[in-house]
Structure 1
Amino acid sequence: MKPVVVYTDPFWALEDGVVNPALADVEREVFGDRAELRFGVVENGAYVKSGKRFIDNLAGASALAVYRAQMTEEVYAAIRGEVKVIGRQGVGYDNIGVPFLEPNGIFGFNVPDYCVDEVSTHTMSLVLALERHVCLQNDHLKNGRWDIYDGGYPRRLQGLTAGIIGLGRIGKSTAQKIRNFYGQVIGYDPYVHGDQMIGYGVRKRHSLKEFLAEADVVILHCLLNDDTKDLAGEAFLAGMKSDALLVNTARGGLVDPKAVHDALAAGRIAGYASDVFSPEDPNEHEWNRKLLPFENVIVTSHRAFLSAESELSQRRRVAEEILHVLETGLPPRWGNLTG
């Protein structure tokens, strides 16, 4: 009997709000006739990512490929003894329920490096759009307002300091790109030694207070966990320069949107750009929604990772690792989250 691999919520399989199995060409190429593919339940054009219908669809599965669905303790209780491996279709793994993997005898993995270039490039796009007031100029000029001073004077970047929190793969890639624009790059990451940062043109700052007092733009590239949840809250923002910018291309849960709203409204920071929100769509959250009308706020739809090449690479790697685990019983070779 073929093992069943359930893709819980792959955006790439949706066509006009309906799952189209024919779009799983990469997956069919990898699995061939060695596994049966099943897709998540769709309702009103979107995947059901929790509740009874979601869990019932996992029955009989040997493996899961998870995009943004939350793997809770309730889900693990339902799949225990059947599912052998869970692959996270992305870099982050805060939604995969890592603490539940090993106790339930399930391997887990992510794809930590498939979109390093894309995310760092997107980060630079947001930073430079804020610095040069590109979106404000674009919106106003298209509505008939021609004024070279609209939005005020942009800053000369060579006299400024860019700050990066989280010097992992993406943080290092951003550092290498942003050093060509800003006069100095500093970093805050308790888990990365200053010697390693130097290799990427970054000067380590040993305290968050010291870092925030110096940075003219603060870029979030850190993981979301218990220590970093709502990191960019009231105290954090109060420690930033009043003319500093905040950019988040990591995880929505790193930022307290009410605190950012209040800081922007009071002029305590100069601008905010984000690709990520919690929940995903900022229009579905009271305080994220209130951020949208600010002219010095730029938002995108959690697409920093996206290119045709990165998406295809991620899909292929997830399928290959799942097949590897199912056929060998060995741990994942890449992105192993279970030791």
Structure 2
Amino acid sequence: MTQPRVLYTDPPWLIDGGRPDPALASVEREVLGPEVELRFGPHRDGRYQITDPAMLEQAAGCDVLVVYRTQVTEELLDAAGAGLKVVVRQGVGVDNLNAGLLAARGLPAYNVPDYCVDEVATHTSALALALERQLVPQHQTLAGGTFDIYAGGTPHRTNRRTLGIVGFGRIGRAVARRLGAFYGRVRVYDPYIGRDLAEGYGAQAVDTLAELLAQSDLVTLHCPLNPETDGLIDAAALRRMKPGSFLVNAARGRLIDPEALYRALDEQWIAGAGLDVFSPENPHQDARWHPVLKHPGVVVTSHRAFLSEEAEASSRRRVAELVRAALDGRTEGLVGRVHAPEAGR
């Protein structure tokens, strides 16, 4: 019997001293067993090379592909070959899974949709409250040698302000419970939920994004990236926001137009932004983000809202269990199914 092969394309938690160390794959080994051949994507100069031709060589003959940041492409699937059973995303988002391509190939795909709800809701709340209380300019001013209680401006009472949540899935609901406790009103926009659902979380649903933007003092984004939401927060949307309001994004970078955001900040359409996500992932690789990063009204983090020791451990184990189930042919009813092949394929 041929030894099963699994390729982890770019798992950063298996990096030690700047290079992948297979010995760190203890969770994966425990779940998958010694009979499974574990492969890792190409790595050079401290980074995984997710578009390198060597990735295709590593994928050859694999039964399962586990992708993190790597984009699923025709070339990658062709390289794996006819024996490929399943593709698993080591994370919540599905935009790099290329669901349409997988559907056309009749390949099932899975993600881990709920492993970091606590972390992202907490991080979103931290960004929001840092903006509301102007923690960054306060820190910079005091650490720089000046004691000034007014550095960054005079805040407002949050219990007189309105929180607006765009997207009311698992994380949006957790944010309503946590961050909503600080605000006098919570508004929700999500065209795919019933209006009464928001009421159960102490919020009120509105009918349009424009309505939510016009009413909210702080807007936080929790929607997936798809053709409908790509560039959702553009210049027109930012113009609808209240003067003095804040925008927080810990969902997907492409939800926001960076040039429009900088203009909104520079011309004071809004007061500030808290950002954990960008497109490309590293904003230093796109000059459009540079003025945003330098703006004094912005708080930024390096796409780590999902991160904790517990979340990472859970994600690794749950993905390994999905892989083991796929190798054993036990995928019916598993949590996290993104796409199932059509009957008879």
Report which stretch shifted further, 256-265 or 42-51. 42-51
Instruction: For residue 75 of structure 1, report the CA deviation from its aligned partner.
Output: 2.1
Counterparts of 1:1-339 in structure 2, within 5 Å, are 1-328=2-329, 330-331=331-332, 333-339=334-340
Q: Return the alpha-carbon distance in structure 1 between the equivalents of residues 103 and 97 of structure 2.
A: 12
Instruction: Check whether the contact 2:60–2:81 (CA below 8 A) recurs between aligned residues.
Output: no
Q: How many residues align?
A: 339
Q: Quote the offset at 1:171 in angstroms.
A: 0.3
How far 1:61 sits from its partner (Å)?
0.7
1:83 shift after superposition: 1.4
What one-letter code is carried by the residue in structure 1 that aligns with 2:242? K
- By how many angstroms is 1:78 displaced? 2.8
Structure-1-length-normalised TM-score: 0.98
> Secondary structure in 2 aligned to 1:337?
strand
- Secondary structure, counterpart of 1:180 in structure 2: helix
Which deviations, in whole Å up to 9, do the C-alpha atoms of 1:65-99 show, x marking residues without a partner? 11111112332333341211111011001001111
Aligned partners of 2:74 and 2:165: how far apart in 1? 34
> Does structure 2 retain, via aligned residues, the 8 Å contact 1:80–1:104?
no
Counterparts of 1:295 and 1:195, CA distance in 2: 39
- Residues in 1 aligned to 2:74 and 2:255: alpha-carbon distance in whole angstroms: 23
1:87-127 Cα shifts (integer Å, max 9, x gaps):
10110010011111132232100000000011000000000
Q: Which consecutive residues of structure 1, in runs of 5 or more, have no partner in the other structure?
A: none
Following the alignment from structure 2 to structure 1, what is the Cα–Cα distance between the partners of residues 89 and 15? Answer: 18
The 2-side partners of 1:9 and 1:108 are apart by 17
Task: Give the Cα–Cα distance (whole angstroms) in 1 for the partners of residues 142 and 332 of structure 2.
Answer: 55
Checking the alignment, whether the CA contact within 8 Å between 2:189 and 2:205 is kept in structure 1 is: yes
Asked whether the equivalents of residues 61 and 79 of structure 2 are also in contact (C-alpha less than 8 Å), the reply is: no
Structure 2 distance, partners of 1:59, 1:110, is 22
Q: TM-score, normalised by structure 2?
A: 0.96
Amino acid corresponding to residue 322 of structure 2 in structure 1: E
Q: Which amino acid aligns with 1:28?
A: R
AA in 2 matched with 1:37 = L
Do the aligned residues in 2 keep the contact of 1:159 with 1:183 (CA within 8 Å)?
Answer: yes
CA separation in 2, counterparts of 1:292 and 1:101? Answer: 36
Residue 190 of structure 1 aligns to which amino acid in structure 2?
Answer: P
Q: What is the CA–CA distance in structure 1 between the aligned matches of 2:90 and 2:323, rounded to whole Å?
A: 11
For residues 331 and 247 of structure 2, the distance between their equivalents in structure 1, rounded to whole angstroms, comes to 42
Q: Give 1:318's aligned amino acid.
A: V
Alignment check: 8 A CA contact 1:231 1:255 kept: yes
Q: State the AA in 2 paired with 1:265.
A: D
Pair 21,38 (structure 1): closer, same or farther in 2 beyond 3 Å: same
Alignment deviations for residues 204-252 of structure 1 (CA, whole Å, 9 cap, x no partner): 0001111111011010000000000011111110111111100000000
Counterpart residue identity of residue 314, structure 1: S
The alignment partner of 2:294 has SS state of coil
Q: Partner of 2:343 in structure 1?
A: none
What is the CA-CA distance between 1:157 and the residue it aligns to? 0.3
Gaps of 5+ in 2: 341-345
User: Residue deviations 1:176-226, cap 9 Å, x none?
Assistant: 012210000000000011111111111000011111110110100000000
Deviation, 1:15, is: 1.3
Residues 86 and 108 of structure 1 are in contact (CA less than 8 Å); yes or no, is this contact kept in structure 2?
Answer: yes
Q: CA deviation at 1:51?
A: 3.7
- Identity within the alignment, %: 47
Cα RMSD (Å) of the superposition?
Answer: 1.1
Displaced runs of 4+ in structure 1, greater than 6 A?
none
> Could you tell me how far 1:329 is from its partner in structure 2?
5.4
Within 1, Cα distance between the matches of 2:286 and 2:332?
Answer: 39
State the 1:332 CA deviation: 6.2
- CA deviations on 1:133-180 (whole Å, 9 max, x unpaired) are 001111121111210111110110010000000000000000001221
